[in-house]
A = this chain, B = another copy of it.
Amino acid sequence: MPTARTKVKRHPERGDYERETIDAILDESLICHLGFVVDGQPFVIPTIHARDGDTLYIHGSPGSRMLRTAKGGVDVCVTVTLLDALVLARSVYNHSMNYRSVVVLGQAVELTDREEKLRAMRRVVEHIIPGRWEDARQPSDAEIKGTTILALPLSEASAKIRTGPPIDDEADLALPVWAGLIPLALEPAEPIAAEGVHGSPPTYAAEYERA
């Protein structure tokens, strides 16, 4: 159920509060935008996330200095957005985009337990590139200490989705203007080996795809 803060007010028909919908968008997106407030000023920083059941892990290093100053949790907003198409209507006004977004509100806390941090790091890596964790050199204690992970419960979240063709005013339908969609997707290209790396890229890299 939406809260007063997560209920979609503009275009309410685009709102979706099902966890299944929310989870699918969070799981597909490679990055999130983390919002937090310092001295009344909002900051929005791109970072990496991963979902673990009802918890959203956020790679917190980008804002860690600021976030660490908050004891016992800090109010954040985590937003992910997947862009699916440009929507060209006959009128300028009805132009739009097809997208799937999720907004999560809540208090983020920093993970301190070694095992919990390690579990979260694994989720983050496997979220981005399934199969990669086992292949790479595992984190040392110092590296685990040097990684900041925030945890945010998925208790206050909403999705907003636009799909389908442009919706023109009735009066515009006869205009001789091309209307429709330009689909968009984040597409991977051929992997590029680093210097000194021999052998073919692993399947999860060579056949990488999202969604």
A residues whose Cβ falls under 8 Å from a Cβ of B: 5, 9-10, 30-31, 33-37, 40-46, 48, 61-62, 64-65, 75-79, 81, 83, 86, 88-93, 95, 97, 99, 101, 103, 105, 121, 125, 128-129, 132-133, 135-140, 143, 146-147, 165-166, 168, 172-173, 175, 177-197, 199-202, 205, 208
Q: Is A44 in contact with B33, judged by CB distance below 8 angstroms?
A: yes
Q: Is B181 in contact with A125, judged by CB distance below 8 angstroms?
A: no
> Please, how many angstroms separate the alpha-carbon atoms of A200 and B192 in the complex?
37
Which of B81, B128, B166, B179 interacts with A46 by CB under 8 Å?
A: B81
Q: Is A42 in contact with B42, judged by CB distance below 8 angstroms?
A: yes
> Please, how many angstroms separate the alpha-carbon atoms of A55 and B86 in the complex?
24
Q: Is A166 in contact with B194, judged by CB distance below 8 angstroms?
A: yes
* Chief secondary structure at chain A's binding surface: mixed
What chain B residues lie within 8 Å of A75 (beta carbons)? 40-42
The smallest beta-carbon distance between A46 and chain B, in angstroms, is 4
Q: Is B186 in contact with A208, judged by CB distance below 8 angstroms?
A: no
Which of B35, B64, B132 interacts with A42 by CB under 8 Å?
A: B35
Q: Is A128 in contact with B86, judged by CB distance below 8 angstroms?
A: yes
Q: Is B139 in contact with A44, judged by CB distance below 8 angstroms?
A: no
Q: Is A121 in contact with B101, judged by CB distance below 8 angstroms?
A: no
What chain B residues lie within 8 Å of A197 (beta carbons)? 178-180
Q: Is A42 in contact with B37, judged by CB distance below 8 angstroms?
A: yes
